Each structure stands twice: as C-alpha cells, then as structure tokens.
Structure 1
Amino acid sequence: MCPMLNSRLDIHRWCRNFPGTKAQISEARRFVASYLGDRPETYTAEVVISELATNAIRHTHSGQAAGRFGVTLHAGTTLLILAVHDEGGPSTPRLCQAENTDQSGRGLHLVESLTTRWGVHGDESGRTVWALIPLGRTA
C-alpha cells in the first residue's frame, strides 16, 4: 500500500499490487472495502474492482505465471476513481455482446452500469482500466 494525501486538492490515494491469481480477486475486494469502510458506495466499488481484476487475470499477461495486477484508489470529496493496472496483452478491453446463457463477457457491461464512466489507457505492454463512482457525503 502507498497511502498518500494531497492536502492542496484533498485527494487520498492508495495502491497495492497483487499476484495474478483468482484467489487475489477477493483480496482486492477486501483492500477496497478497507479503504472505503462503511460508506454506501463500498459494495459497488467492490463489485467493480472484482470485475476489473478478473479481466486483468483472465485476459492479460497478469494472469500468467508470476503475473501481477495493481489496484489504485483515488478519492476526493465527491468522486472515487478505481483503477486496475495489468501487464498487458494482445487485446484491448471493450464492451462486447454476450449471449444470454454465457457468463463470460458481461463484466464490463456491469462496470458500465454501476459507474459514471470507465475507460482504458495503455497498450499491449501494460494497461490501466479505470472507473468513476460518485461519492455521497459522509456524516
């Protein structure tokens, strides 16, 4: 983890690397939950990070032997940015049509429905898939 605070912008940032295995998806969810605590947006953020981490280990070099993926959280007063950094691969993440009976291919549709916006930057040597979740006021 690398917690940081930019007091000028009031932005908090945490990041952590994970081995590229299926077992680490739940660890990434716990990392997000520990950062957000009992905020109303925690469950949504856990689902989004789970989908993005799953895609990283399923579709990139992060899921190969000794592969890794990273999770970064940036939180301001009104917006949470979730990002998963992977080790790249031959294809770019994109929305695709999934058959009704096919469980594969639905993750980015779920991310799109739960977030304000999402996107990708990088190339075959490494990508970051990010998503924005609005934050409500905390007491």
Structure 2
Amino acid sequence: MSPTLNSLKEIHRWCRNFPGTRPQVREARQFVMSYLGDRPETDIAQLVVSELATNAIRHTRSGLPGGRFGVTLHAGSTLLILAVLDEGGPTAPHLRQAENDDQSGRGLHLVETLTMRWGVHGDEVGRTVWALISLAPAGQAA
C-alpha cells in the first residue's frame, strides 16, 4: 500500500503520466486522492486536477491520438503544488469571459477561486499549468 501524505514526515513528491483521454481525468483525480488521503483539501485538489487535466486534453496536443499529460504533486507542511504538464498547443491557458449559458470557459475561474495562486510556464511545445493549494497542518481541519 502506498503511503499517503498524512503518513509522511517530510516533503514528498509524486509524478505520474496519463494517456490523453477523457477517462484518464478520473484516474488523475484518484492519483491525487491516493497522495492526499483523507485530508480536508483532497476534494479541492481533485477538482483542480480535473479542470487542468481536462484543459490539457481539450486544448493541447495531449488530447490527440497518442498524446499524454502528466501530474506532479509536491507538498510541504502548509502548501501543495499541483502541476499538469501537457504537450503544448497554439494558445496559452488564460481566463476568459464565459457566456451565461456556456458550459466551457469556467474551469480556470474555478481554479483561481479555489487556489492561492495559479500560473502557466512553457510554450506551444509543452506547458505546465500549476496551482498552489493551502494545506492545513496534518490532523487539523481546513
């Protein structure tokens, strides 16, 4: 059985690659849950990775046949860095105004609301979209 973040006494980092298909977004959420365990921030981190992985599949070459995306989780005592690596595309992720009836375009607004900060590093060849999530000390509610 893999250790969860609750059982670790030091900083720990997990990385995993996923095929660039929609069912793998669920696998990415499971990967986050396996890392964080039953911490109060698990639901937020799962939602953030779901949004970022979905964007990677929809808007980059990661979603093309044979494409892949990666997820990296790195936690300290009070901060989780969650990053999704994609295979790049013609446009960079950015906040956009979504129409009231438009179901797309809201994901990064959600990420911005749920995280301390988020950003993008890279270019059309490959990007990392990262988010910082505040962690409550182990054993404490968020």
For normalisation by structure 2, the TM-score amounts to 0.91
The letter for the 1-side match of 2:79 is L
Name the residue aligned to 1:29.
29
C-alpha distance in 2, partners of 1:62/1:70? Answer: 9
1:111-126 mapped onto 2 (5 Å cutoff): 111-126=111-126
Name the residue aligned to 1:101.
101
Q: State the Cα distance separating 1:32 from its structure 2 match.
A: 0.1
1:3-82 mapped onto 2 (5 Å cutoff): 10-82=10-82
The letter for the 2-side match of 1:97 is Q
The letter for the 2-side match of 1:37 is G
**Secondary structure, counterpart of 1:58 in structure 2:** helix
C-alpha distance in 2, partners of 1:41/1:89? Answer: 31
The letter for the 1-side match of 2:93 is P
The letter for the 2-side match of 1:34 is S
C-alpha distance in 2, partners of 1:12/1:138? Answer: 14
Q: State the Cα distance separating 1:137 from its structure 2 match.
A: 1.0
What's the CA shift string for 1:7-62, capped at 9, x where partnerless? xxx42100000000000000000000000000000000000000000000000000
For normalisation by structure 1, the TM-score amounts to 0.93
Identity %: 76
**Secondary structure, counterpart of 2:28 in structure 1:** helix
**Secondary structure, counterpart of 2:83 in structure 1:** strand
C-alpha distance in 2, partners of 1:134/1:65? Answer: 35
**Secondary structure, counterpart of 1:80 in structure 2:** strand
Q: State the Cα distance separating 1:67 from its structure 2 match.
A: 0.1
C-alpha distance in 1, partners of 2:138/2:80? Answer: 13
Q: State the Cα distance separating 1:103 from its structure 2 match.
A: 0.4
C-alpha distance in 2, partners of 1:77/1:14? Answer: 15
Q: Which structure 2 residue ranges, 5 or more long, are not aligned?
A: 4-9
The letter for the 2-side match of 1:119 is G
1:78-93 mapped onto 2 (5 Å cutoff): 78-93=78-93
Name the residue aligned to 1:130.
130
